[in-house]
Each structure stands twice: as structure tokens, then as C-alpha cells.
Structure 1
């Protein structure tokens, strides 16, 4: 009988997320940036925190933070955006896993007002 290894990465990557990159375009008003599709990747998404805070002008906002584990790649940048279930998450940090060198941990946050 096959016993699934807890370190097996392929069995844990069960969410398909989209990576978008900001691309510089020249317009008649000057330089602007536009989000373009870059690629789709498989990921393991772990919720970290969800906070509701008071903002300016008697408004409230929630801030959701996630830990996202993906296969190791060199082309993900901190300026990229991650689209998870039609919501845009900004990358806070990209941390390589030094014990198991086959994966990256990405910390991302969503701020909804």
C-alpha cells in the first residue's frame, strides 16, 4: 500500500492561481502601466490572518493575508499580482524554503475597503 509522504509537494498543490504582471505602455498622456496575464501556476493556499480595522473617514476595511506555497521558479517577482477566485492579492514577500529546496513560500495580502 502506498503511503503518502507529507513532504510530497505535488499532492498538496490543489489550487490554480493566475499571475499578472504590470507592463509599461506608452500613451498620448505619457507612460502608464497595464496588468497583463503572465501565467497560471498550481499552489497550496494557507490562510494566515483576517483583520477588520477602522480606516479614515469612519470607514472599515479588512485585510486578508495568505501563505502560498508553489514549486520553485525564478520568474515570480514581488511586483506581480496573484488572482485567486477573482480577487487580487499583492505579493509581500517571496521566501525560498531552505530545507526542501523545491518550493517557494509567498506571503500575499488582499485589502478590501
Structure 2
């Protein structure tokens, strides 16, 4: 079991609570999964995660950036500017957990999922 910890003035009953506060929710781990292969522009992420709304993607990216997992890099100072997102060094420390979650998702899909016919 984890231990009590205070981070940024907030008390967590255990380290799992802390971790889930940082990466929990429906979209944060999905975004991190898509960034683990390298930097992406905002529109690339929107295309790769079509079910996420623009507002939610923006908010989640901002929260991931505030928590030090994602880096936002702006190229240029005049429009059109280029903005890319990538994992920070700290964010890359989460890759093993992402891979474990992915493997567990595959196990669940194999056990209770149904195959989907893709339109070609």
C-alpha cells in the first residue's frame, strides 16, 4: 500500500491517489499514449483521437503540461505559428505504465471484446 503524501499543498491518502490525480480520467492516458511515439501537433492528436472534443483536448493538454508530463513548444512568433506537444523527461517515465495498461487492455479485449469489421 502507498503512503500518505503532500504534493503542492494537497494531501493524498496514498501514492495511487496522487498518480491518478495526475494521469486519471478518460483522456490523459490516451493522449500520453499517442505522444509516446514522438511529438505531435494539436490537429494530429485530434485526428488520432476523434472521440475527444477540442475543448477537452485543450484542457487535458494544459493539465498534462501543468503537471510536467507534456511539453508545449511554439515555433515562430508570427502567424502561422507551429505548436507541437511532446512528452517531457518526466512524462517518459510513465511509458512503462502506459505499456502495462495497453497490455491489460489487450487482455480484456481478448476476453470480453468482440471483433469489429473495418470498412475498407
Q: If the TM-score is normalised by the length of the shorter chain, which range does it land in?
A: under 0.3
TM-score where L is the length of structure 2: 0.26
Q: Between Structure 1 and Structure 2, which shows a larger proportion of strand residues?
A: 1
* Structure holding more helix per residue: 2
Which one has more relative contact order, counting CA pairs under 8 Å at least 6 apart?
1
How does the TM-score come out when normalised to structure 1?
A: 0.27
